Structure 1
């Protein structure tokens, strides 16, 4: 009797990627055909921002990691081909951001992600 091979999402890489100074480590967790949806004050649920593929996701991450802010992975839960995590961020001027993500995995890579975020105004 054999056991099914199970891909594992690398939560250590997720932490290093989120808390790092550049987006490359975080970007390595996305499949080439990944889709990322962002819901926040500006891109509300009926019209979320949707990014298709690693190139578009890389552009967003390059923008985020070019800002003077810190990022912290607060919690991460992985179950099979699904994961969820919370991230807190703080700009140099003290403005805070909190985001929660739900992700779908394939072969240990993110193929779908929905981010819901809120920040101090």
Structure 2
């Protein structure tokens, strides 16, 4: 049985990507095949959340969602 842990999430890359507005760095944190949320009726939803921090705490948050067009 293999007990070696896989690589962890790179929070330093996340920090650099957010602070430097570096889309390439942020995209490198995503899997090659991210899966949208799929509801039982077949509608797919993707979401993105952006936060503003002050003194290490969230002071503002914006959530964007994209959904399949309805019938």
Greater RCO, 1 or 2 (C-alpha within 8 Å, sep 6+):
1
**Smaller-chain TM-score range?**
0.3 to 0.5
- In terms of fraction of residues, the more strand-rich structure is 1
- Rg bigger for which structure? 2
